[in-house]
Structure 1
Amino acid sequence: MNVADQFLVKKMNLKTLFKEIIRKSPISRAELSKITGLNKSTVSSQINTLIEKNLVFEIGQGQSSGGRRPVMLVFNKKAGYALGIDIGVDFINGILTDLGGNVVASQYKETAVSSAEEAIAILFSLIDELISSVPDSRYGLVGIGVCVPGIVDKNEEIVFTPNSEWIVKDLKSIIEQKFSVPVLIENEANAGAYGEKVFGAAKNLSNIIYVSIGTGIGIGIIINQELYRGNNGFSGEMGHMTIDFNGPKCSCGNRGCWELYASERAFYNPSSKKSIHLTRNELINLAQNNDAETLILLQKFGFYIGIGLTSVLNTFNPQSVIIRNSIVESQPIVLNSIKSAVTSRIYSISQNEYDLMPSALGQNAPALGTSSIVIERFLELVTE
């Protein structure tokens, strides 16, 4: 075996051992040898490298099955930190996490702005506040992940944000120049799907659909445990599939798009005298008091969500559909209405093959998703 091949094998062994430690820590060297099939001297040598990089540390002795009690190895989650930023239509939600995805600090700002300059100033202020909360560590801030409600291409350039005019195409380079750390740009629904896959309701699932319902609708797709982005990164724009070919014109140029009927913008539409002036708390109170008009609005909202989900389920046949929307999460009548609409339209043989549930992570799902992708990229580089 030549030197180049030896180096590649060592690198692969290091990554394999590190992944097992992350998955199963605390774990002993002997157990790692057994799981990976690597001999004890190789395991010992590679573990020493991980300890030198401050990615792994030793803790007290574990249980013995005979002989000396083993020293246990643990992933050092506090060796570095990552930022996850979710830029919504009228808000920015930011979290600071350690390398294990545990939230250390968070910031939320509303963005009723009129220009890109004003919005970027708010974004930079939020990032500065979160960076000030980064604890001392070997690697410090390892990167910033940002997700936006729009189309992001494979080069992480923002192509189109139909509901947010201020978001600029080269946001990645603008943030990198300001903060001098690696920056990731991702679609918001993709990020939410990944957050649920790594930390939330889809931890043990391989094929899921994450539906983000806000001002518009987007979906994130996990296939065989991998985030599916499509050929150019444009997958998941199912908010713009037609559910009424005679429907009104959408901002995307199409007519009768799903999000014209099933988004929060549709729910809080001026055509509905009841809903246009409701705050979320008022909505909850009216629903709890069985206000008839409010319950009808909520049922109609769920019905239109279900109409679109029927096509999604027929297309992807996922194990689970996870819905991220504050109204769905707080109002059981909406989820029941969604299920009723889907059940009456989908193949009977498919009805028991999937779960339909609200998000387990709520508004932090997209930010956690971008943070986790940033962490994975960092860990991949630091173990090269």
Structure 2
Amino acid sequence: MQTGDQILVKKINKSIVLQTIQSRSPISRAQISKDSGLNKATVSALVSELMEENFVQEIGTGLSSGGRKPVMLYFNKTAGYSIGIDLGVNYILAVLTDLQGNVVEQVEEKLEETSTAYVFPRLKKTVNALMEKGSASPYGIVGIGVGVPGITDKDGMILFAPNLNWERVDLKRYLEDEYNLPVVIENEAKAGAHGEKIYGAGKESSDLIYVSMGIGIGTGIIINDKLYKGASGISGEMGHFTIEANGKKCRCGNKGCWELYSSESALLEQARSLSSVKSKLLTLEGLIKEAEDGNTEVINLFNQIGEYAGIGLTNVINTFNPEQIIIGNRFSKLQKWLTNPIQHVLEQRLLPYYHDSLNISFSHFGIHSSALGSAAFSVEAFFSENKVTVS
């Protein structure tokens, strides 16, 4: 009869073997033993289990250093698939990924309104489209992750999403009842930070802030390689920093919030007063086209928005002293116009000591960070039975 300690040790060892194969495959049993410090018999037994579970495959022989050629092992990234969704204020972006975060399929849908009666059926439609693509695998769809533009608690309840006009919305229960799958609901900026840390621009940084700049502004905080959520899971609402003491009234109840001056909503609102684009249908993409065509009014507006972005980032940097700031979501499309005004403001307002260790970059994934991070949350939950985190 196994004791609890024996079971725990086996789970830890199995986790080490699986993680080694995931990160280093193709790799031999002997190399796993050498890298992990586990004896060859233990590695062989655990690899056999992982092969029976369809997580590991043999893919042929490698080069020999003398004696029999080693059989190489490979992580079976298509043993299952995850669905990751970025639920925006005016869009749904959903991706189907394999177990290593590679996008297999994606679906986008525009949203004309934000009521749950309107949004929920469209979420279901996007999930259904992706479910068909991922069903033909040993584990099928392993879970659904959703990044939402609002505050969520540790149980996945959407407490408050001001730009959606949602309060206490249980999207998690709706999706779990609909699909009988595990569902992870998280703030979209936290999901974006997670996606960039695992797969993207933040892989090499231990302390980073992901700034999601879209209709609103949210931030995801990585400290010592871990996503920081705060005491009750609602950290990162930096879009509601006050940057104008007697500024505009925000839906959150505050005045002068950062996102009222440097977000897609702020950009489109201010663009409506520009004489050169007044008669046109205003979209971010349309304004980018105007700037590319040399429209100086729009270029000046981008510069102004960039300066306000810099003011907010000054507060972020002074608070956290991160190694890296990654700007993502819709404003990643404005990198060409935002980089200089942001840098100019930071040079004016920050102590020079911050600049030496700070890297400001734009998302590797553009608008996809949150969807990828949400899918990764579901993959991690799926593997949790085989993995034990050892601190």
Gaps of 5+ in 2: none
Query: SS of 2:289's equivalent?
Result: helix
Deviation for aligned residue 1:189? 0.1
- What CA distance in whole angstroms lies between the structure 1 residues aligned with 2:40 and 2:267? 61
| Corresponding residue number in structure 1 for 2:373 | 369
**Cα deviations across residues 191-244 of structure 1 (Å, max 9, x unaligned)?**
000111111111122111100111111000011111111010110000101111
> Secondary structure, in 3 states, of the residue corresponding to 1:133?
helix
Q: Take 1:270 and 1:348, find their aligned partners in 2: how far apart are those partners?
A: 33
Match of 1:278 in 2: 282
1:350, distance to aligned residue in structure 2 (A): 1.2
Residue 323 of structure 2 corresponds to residue 305 of structure 1: no
> 1-side partners of 2:47 and 2:375: how far apart?
26
Q: How does 1:214-229 map to 2 (within 5 A)?
A: 214-229=214-229
User: What is the aligned partner in structure 2 of residue 346 from structure 1?
Assistant: 350
Which amino acid letter does the alignment assign opposite residue 184 of structure 2?
L
Counterpart Cα distance in 2 of 1:364 and 1:334: 19
Partner amino acid for 1:282?
G
Post-superposition offset of 1:119 = 1.3
Alignment partner, residue 190 of structure 2: 190
Structure 2 Cα separation of the partners of residues 356 and 51 of structure 1: 42
Residue in structure 1 matched with residue 69 of structure 2 by the alignment? 69
Mean alpha-carbon deviation: is it higher for 282-291 or for 215-224?
282-291
CA distance in 2, matches of 1:116, 1:35: 50
Moved over 6 A (4+): none
> What does the per-residue CA deviation read over 1:153-172, in whole Å, with 9 as the maximum and x for residues that have no partner?
11111110010025762110
Distance 1:110 1:290 in 2: 29
Query: Which amino acid counterpart does residue 12 of structure 2 have in structure 1?
Result: M
* Deviation (angstroms), 1:289: 2.9
Structure 2 CA distance for aligned equivalents of residues 255 and 383 of structure 1: 45
Contact map agreement 1:111 1:119 (CA 8 A) in 2: yes
- Supply the distance in 1 between the matched residues of 2:114 and 2:58 (Cα, whole angstroms): 53
| Partner amino acid, structure 2, of 1:248 | K
**What secondary structure is seen at the aligned counterpart in 1 of 2:192?**
helix
Give the Å deviation of 1:278.
Answer: 3.0
Letter aligned with residue 149 of structure 2:
P
| Inter-CA distance 223–341: structure 2 relative to 1 (3 Å threshold) | same
Q: Which amino acid aligns with 1:263?
A: S
State TM-score, norm by structure 1: 0.96
Matched residues, number = 384
Change (3 A) 1:22 1:203: same
The answer (yes or no) to whether the contact 1:119–1:166 under 8 Å persists in 2 is no
- Tell whether the 8 Å contact from 1:328 to 1:335 is kept in structure 2 after alignment: no
Counterpart amino acid of 2:232?
N
Mean alpha-carbon deviation: is it higher for 15-24 or for 160-169? 160-169
1:290 Cα deviation (Å)? Answer: 2.4
Give the secondary structure class of the aligned counterpart of 1:249: coil
Q: Deviations along 1:129-176, whole A, 9 cap, x unmatched?
A: 111111411111100001100000111111100100257621101100
Which residue number corresponds to residue 212 of structure 2? 212
Gaps of 5+ in 1: none
Deviation at 1:288, TM superposition (A): 2.0
State the distance in 2 between where 1:174 and 1:135 align. Answer: 21
Alpha-carbon shift at residue 11 of structure 1 (Å): 1.4
**Alpha-carbon distance between aligned partners in 2 of 1:166 and 1:297, rounded to the nearest angstrom:** 31
AA partner of residue 214 (structure 1): G
- Output the TM-score relative to the length of structure 2: 0.94
Amino acid at match of 1:304: Y
- 2: CA distance, partners of 1:285 / 1:257: 28
1:55 aligns with 2:55: yes
Q: Which residue matches 1:131?
A: 131
| Deviation readout 1:44-83 (Å, 9 max, x if unpaired) | 1111111111100111111222221111111100100110
Native 8 Å contact 1:192 1:220 kept in 2: yes
CA gap 1:232/1:327 in 2 versus in 1, 3 angstroms: closer
Is contact 2:115-2:164 (8 Å) kept? no
**Secondary structure, aligned partner of 2:206:** coil
My pick for the range that moved more, 194-203 or 128-137, is: 128-137
Q: 1:253 and 1:23 mapped to 2: Cα distance?
A: 46
TM-aligned CA deviation for residue 4 of structure 1: 2.2
CA spacing shift, 1:249–1:330, aligned 2, 3 Å: closer
Question: Is the 8 Å Cα contact of residues 87 and 148 (structure 2) preserved in structure 1?
Answer: yes
Q: Which amino acid aligns with 1:227?
A: L
